[in-house]
Amino acid sequence: MFAAWGRFVYRWRWATLAVSVVLLGGSIYGLMTGGTLGTGSSATSTIEADQAAKLINDQLSSGKTGGTNFLLIFSSPSRLATDASFRADVEAAIAPLQNDSRVTGVQTPYNAPSPAVAQSFISKDGHRALVQVNLESSEGQQARADYAALRASVHPNGLTVLGTGNVPINRDFSATLESDLARAETVTLPVTLILLLIIFGTVVAAGLPLGIGIFTIVGGLAGTFLLARFTSVSQYALNIVTLIGLAVAIDYSLFVVNRFRDELAAGKSRPDALATTMATAGRAITFSGLAAAVGLSAMLFYQGTFLTSLGQAGAIVIAVAVFYGLTFLPALLAVLGPKVNRLALPLVGRRRSSDTTSQGFWHRLATWVMRRPVAVLLPSLAFLVIAGTPFLHLRLANAGVDQLPSRLESRQGIDLLVSSFPGQDQTAFDVVVDYGTSSPTTPQRVSDQQDLSNRIAAIPGILRMEAPKVGKSIVFLTAVSNQNPSSDAARSTLKLIRAETAPPGSRLLVTGATAFDVDVINFIIQKTPLAIGFVVLVTYLVLFLLTGSVVLPLKAVILNLLSISASFGALVWIFQDGHLSSQLGFTPQSIDPSVPVILFAIVFGMSMDYEVLLISRIHEEYVRTGDNTHAIAEGLERSGRLITGAAAIMVAVFLGFGLAEVVLIKSIGIGLAIAVAIDATLVRALIVPAVMRLLGRANWWAPAPLRTLHRRAGLAHFGHVVEEVA
């Protein structure tokens, strides 16, 4: 089927190019028209914190829609906020805001409705004053634009000022993600081109994968913006699409261009070379794309979170990469033919053509490993297990403002707010007593609610209970603590509150920062076994369809899990434990629960690139010779250099994202780089040859009915099956 496709593309090469160019033009148009990205989350009714928050919003909101606010912190090292000159400077600075149509109100320590509120607007040391500016616009692009314009109009005389709050924090997140994306592209594209020049030794051959990578990013981003017109898509999706798209598109193109050059060097005509290329490399990238898409499908199990949109966007860009790898790229190769080797670099030169009798470095390495498989395998596996041990003390917590670099004003402002102003370091546990459709205000129920409030107030860590608020069928109690929202102490307090017995005829729900933190983590943990099981099962099936073996897919899955565990261990060691934090420029913190999910989904799928490439080459040789040892050595010789080059490119791409300032993107980039480096070196170069040598002919074993099914489906390499393997 793939060989026939190669001949079809050769015959209709100009038409294929024309169709691809039209689709590229559509992608550019979609990219230029853009779209609106947000949190990527939707209401998750199964989460208790969300249910409670919805009840509060439905029954206790004022009915006013829209509106948000931001905060300004004015400081002086020498003057007190109560000094007349300090007050005069603050009021002069905020004067442009008072009559602005975008502002609905400005609250300061000097116009506060009560002495208690005024006191909360002055810092503990007395040298800072807090100003709250209420906006007409709702949270979103308009609010961010209004904030930028209003913040620029504030010019204090003799005071320093910091702007913070949800609006400037979200604005800084968006701006930082955009700059991270631009920085990654600026760094990775030149480095990738250099690596491609080293791998291929000619400018034309090196330029093709890079060009396909750029086209894939354009198509992936356009598809993501199109997706955003129908569902909520996270702003993180653009970074993930660029990261995945550039890596897999260059990898896939590398496999195709390399095989086409090999076939031309072996003396084949252009049509035959392209047919063989599609039957081998084209087939490999199709299965690799399927495996990568299956890996990303793990994120679809987390409906209601931003992970779903990342999985959808990732699948789109992988589909674009495979499409260009099977259409645009082979059509270009059909047109270029031997010209693909033009503009050879003098210092690098054309790399040698493939030779079935060659015994280069990778052949010698595979032979060395297979002479002592146990001696190589045991320490390699021990390293992977030890590297994964830091993951045993993983601590999860939802990402907060610590994700931003400390140089940003909104981050500095929120840190100052929490540390310096009374009450700002407190955590609220919002307790909802829900009576369904009946009234909560009968005398007995009011008495029950008071008893509940007293019991909650007696829980260790609770500072006070605020006055209850009554809705149509709920009572809203607020318990205040000075514990950090994501701390173990706050989580213990939440557990104790939720363990309280609800008043008769009601149910007890708790929301707030700690409740959302715990509930989201539990939601992800509950969904993870099903997501992992699905990915492992479908990946196993895809690899069986590729190899016709039931043993090799099992080996691949186990080694994948080991290499992923090693990268998870490195993730905890670096980002949670804080090693290299000063060198990498981030604040050590608990791991966001989405990061292990994203890493697993991407690594599990993309590591199949190397599995597919290596096993495909080994399988070809085994089908041709029936000699397992020779097939392993020759397969590694044919693909080892390419795997190393592809891995170097992937690592360069991922490390480019490791330069990001948003910690979530930085941790994903560095985690992926570590996983790929381990997978392409230790796993593929040492562990795979050792395991396959020990398994011998059992590598290719499958029950007779499955072998027959595989053959009749036309999935065996070149239509052959090694029948003697039983």
207/265 same-domain check:
yes
Give the span between the Cα atoms of 293 and 605, in whole angstroms. 7
**Hey, what amino acid is at 589?**
Q
704/562 same-domain check:
yes
Strand pairing report for 160-164 and 68-75: antiparallel
Give the span between the Cα atoms of 493 and 489, in whole angstroms. 6
586/683 same-domain check:
yes
| Secondary structure (H, E, C), 546-586 | HHCCCCHHHHHHHHHHHHHHHHHHHHHHHHHCCCCHHHHCC
- Listing DSSP states for 52-63 in one string gives HHHHHHHHHS-S
Task: Single out the residue of 308, 320, 90 nearest to residue 218, CA to CA.
Answer: 320
pLDDT exceeds cutoff 90 at 86: yes
Backbone region of residue 505 per phi and psi (left: phi > 0; alpha: psi in -120 to 50; beta: other values): left
Q: Is residue 347 part of a domain?
A: yes
pLDDT of residue 620: 76
CB 283 within 8 A of CB 6: no
pLDDT of residue 262: 83
Q: Is residue 10 part of a domain?
A: yes
**Domain end marker among 164, 194, 216:** 164
Quote the tokens at residue 635: 């397969």
Indicate the SS3 state at residue 634.
helix
pLDDT exceeds cutoff 50 at 299: yes
**Domain end marker among 299, 324, 352:** 352
Name which of 169-173, 378-382, 704-708 the model is least confident about: 704-708
The string of pLDDT tens digits covering residues 90-108 is 999 999 998 888 999 999 9
Domain of 324?
1-33+172-352
Quote the tokens at residue 572: 């905890």
pLDDT of residue 504: 93
**Domain end marker among 295, 324, 352:** 352
pLDDT of residue 701: 84
299/386 same-domain check:
no
Quote the tokens at residue 275: 């047919």
pLDDT of residue 359: 66
* Averaged pLDDT for residues 330-347: 82
* Averaged pLDDT for residues 513-532: 92
Q: Is residue 47 part of a domain?
A: no
CB 655 within 8 A of CB 246: no
Q: Is residue 542 part of a domain?
A: no
Beta bridge partners of 103: 135
CA 625 to chain centre: 43
- Listing DSSP states for 643-675 in one string gives HHHHHHHHHHHHHHHHT-SSHHHHHHHHHHHHH
CA 636 to chain centre: 31
231/274 same-domain check:
yes
The string of pLDDT tens digits covering residues 381-391 is 999 999 999 99
Quote the tokens at residue 577: 């434990």
pLDDT exceeds cutoff 60 at 351: no
pLDDT of residue 232: 81
CATH number, domain containing residue 372: 1.20.1640
Residues contacting 9, CB < 8 A, separation 6+? 16, 274, 278, 326, 327, 330, 331, 334
Q: How many CB atoms lie within 10 A of CB 490?
A: 23
pLDDT of residue 499: 94
How many independent structural domains does the chain possess?
4
Give the span between the Cα atoms of 615 and 684, in whole angstroms. 10
The string of pLDDT tens digits covering residues 577-632 is 999 888 888 889 999 998 999 999 888 877 776 777 787 778 778 878 878 888 88
151/195 same-domain check:
no
CATH number, domain containing residue 459: 3.30.70.1430
341/232 same-domain check:
yes
Name which of 66-70, 77-81, 234-238, 598-602 the model is least confident about: 66-70
Q: Is residue 667 part of a domain?
A: yes
| Secondary structure (H, E, C), 23-54 | HHHHHHHHHHHCCCCECCCCCCCCCHHHHHHH
Q: Is residue 375 part of a domain?
A: yes
pLDDT of residue 40: 58
194/341 same-domain check:
yes
How far is it between the farthest Cα atoms of the chain? 96
346/363 same-domain check:
no
335/224 same-domain check:
yes
Q: Is 489 exposed, middle or buried (0-12, 13-18, 19+ CB in 10 A)?
A: middle
Q: Is residue 38 part of a domain?
A: no
Q: How far apart are the first and last CA of the chain?
A: 27
pLDDT exceeds cutoff 50 at 517: yes
The string of pLDDT tens digits covering residues 655-691 is 988 889 999 889 999 999 999 889 888 888 889 889 9
* Averaged pLDDT for residues 13-29: 86
User: Burial code of 54-90, b = ≥16 C-beta within 10 A, e = fewer?
Assistant: ebbeebeeeeeeeebbbbbbbbbeebbbeeeebbebb
Q: How many CB atoms lie within 10 A of CB 303?
A: 13
Residue 352: pLDDT band with limits 50, 70, 90: very low
Residue 719: pLDDT band with limits 50, 70, 90: very low
Task: Single out the residue of 646, 667, 614, 715 nearest to residue 198, CA to CA.
Answer: 646
Residue 45: pLDDT band with limits 50, 70, 90: low
pLDDT of residue 162: 94
458/478 same-domain check:
yes
- Listing DSSP states for 181-228 in one string gives HHHHHHHHHHHHHHHHHHHH-BHHHHHHHHHHHHHHHHHHHHHHHHHH
pLDDT of residue 725: 34
Give the span between the Cα atoms of 722 and 726, in whole angstroms. 9
CATH number, domain containing residue 274: 1.20.1640.10
Identify the sign of the CA torsion 184, 189, 194, 198: positive
Task: Single out the residue of 277, 224, 276, 273 nearest to residue 253, CA to CA.
Answer: 277
Q: Is residue 51 part of a domain?
A: no
The string of pLDDT tens digits covering residues 538-581 is 888 878 887 788 888 888 888 888 889 999 999 999 999 999 88
Quote the tokens at residue 470: 């009554």
CB 655 within 8 A of CB 672: no
Query: In this structure, what DSSP letter does residue 159 have?
Result: -
Beta bridge partners of 480: 428, 464
pLDDT exceeds cutoff 70 at 724: no
Task: Single out the residue of 570, 666, 649, 549 nearest to residue 609, CA to CA.
Answer: 649
655/580 same-domain check:
yes
CATH number, domain containing residue 91: 3.30.70
Enter the pTM of the model.
Answer: 0.84
